[in-house]
Structure 1
Amino acid sequence: MPAPTVASLTTGLNEKVAAADLIDDPPVIGGRPVTAAAAFADEQPALLRSPAVPFD
């Protein structure tokens, strides 16, 4: 798979990934009873927040 062409990795790539996420959210994956979006919404509260100090 070729690398995506974007003007900036920080904004252009993030925008492409966000757009792809919206396309991928509706389907049910592998016969699971919920959509990808619903599964993420259930899991999101358990995810760690980004650090207050940026990591290099």
Structure 2
Amino acid sequence: MRTSVFVDAQTPRDNNNNNNNNNIIIIIIIIIIIQTSVQRVKSLLTPAMSPLALAQHF
């Protein structure tokens, strides 16, 4: 009786966790794409500046 209730309670949580994991993966991919594009823009704008100066400006 306890095991069946536990399994019934766990299944929707597992589905929610899978959805959350998929959303986190998508967000991480979007962040990586944004970071690479920002780095390209920074390198185009100020190729002679040091990374510390870039970090202070942006």
Tell me if both proteins adopt one fold, taking TM over 0.5 as the criterion: no
TM range (shorter): 0.3 to 0.5
Q: Which has the larger radius of gyration?
A: 2
- Give the number of the structure whose residues are more often helix, by fraction: 2
